[in-house]
Copies of this chain bind each other. A is one copy, B any other.
């Protein structure tokens, strides 16, 4: 099957440093069931959250080159760190639409806060970029944003300790500082963190809105596709002529598969491993 640039039947390219972006892919599957997805997880170089802008820009460029070989019509950076550090750079070079998760997350947080005090948690690199803070200020400079890096959350999620007392103690340590600031909204600024939602909910209580940028990103993607005339008009055919969701990784396809099967609403059958450094 051949696709022209701008073909509305082409796939959406979605990428992340690893498995976390599957929480975004899941929202796209739920909210835009007509869209096909090509997912790439950079499991050979994961995590991104402790790395520099230069490195994350280079990695993102390689991944976008790879996704272009799959004839995607639009790209979603389903990783907060890469959205924070690389989106502005890679956007300039692209002739198809690309969106990250930070702008949608910032937008919904602005509409959700009543007392204009918002907390943001994320990786070290995301927090040090202050990207959520900047985008929130652009929309409403009267809002105060409190930021906190939570570097142990990703390893704890990958260890599967989602409801563990250790994870709760770590979360208490990280979140205490934000809770003392009387925030009423908390952005889960890393795609792994929605998997800790119920534990975080227990700690912060019911009065704080937890903002998951994944849902808003899927919504914003839908609007973008409609606006650009790129939305797929057809549901995937039955019997399927092509797999609607395809998965690629740079390493450890098996481990990715079992993690993916615990997150996604269906079981992945094939995951292809590629050498991303060649792109």
Could you tell me if A51 and B55 are in contact, using CB atoms closer than 8 angstroms? no
Instruction: Tell me the bound Cα distance from A215 to B55 in angstroms.
Output: 33
* Contact present for A166 and B173 (CB under 8 Å): yes
Within A32-84, which residues are at the interface with B (CB < 8 Å)? 43-46, 50-52, 54-55, 58
Quick check: A156 and B152 within 8 Å, CB to CB? yes
Interface assignment of A252: CB less than 8 Å from any CB of chain B: yes
Instruction: Give Cα A156 to B277, complex, Å.
Output: 29
**Interface of A with B (CB < 8 Å)?**
43-46, 50-52, 54-55, 58, 151-152, 154-156, 158-159, 165-166, 169-170, 173, 250-252, 255, 275, 277
| Bound complex: CA A277 to CA B61 (Å) | 14
The contact of A55 among B151, B158, B251, B255, by CB within 8 Å, is: B251
Partner of A51 from B44, B50, B51, B166 at Cβ < 8 Å? B44
Chain B contacts of A152 at CB under 8 A?
152, 155-156, 159
Among B50, B52, B155, B252, the residue within 8 A (CB) of A151 is B155
Judge whether A52 and B252 touch: CB under 8 Å.
yes
Chain B positions within 8 Å of A46 at CB level: 50
**A43 and chain B: residue at smallest CB distance:** B51
Please give me the 8 A-B residue pairs with the lowest Cβ-Cβ distance, nearest first.
Answer: A155-B155, A55-B251, A44-B55, A45-B45, A277-B277, A52-B251, A51-B251, A52-B252
Residue numbers in B under 8 Å from A166 (CB-CB): 166, 169-170, 173
Known: A44-B45, A44-B51; 15 extra A-B contacts, CB below 8 A, are A43-B51, A45-B45, A46-B50, A50-B158, A52-B251, A54-B251, A55-B250, A58-B275, A152-B152, A152-B155, A152-B159, A155-B155, A166-B169, A166-B173, A277-B277
Residue of B nearest to A151 (CB): B159
Residue of B at shortest CB range from A254? B52
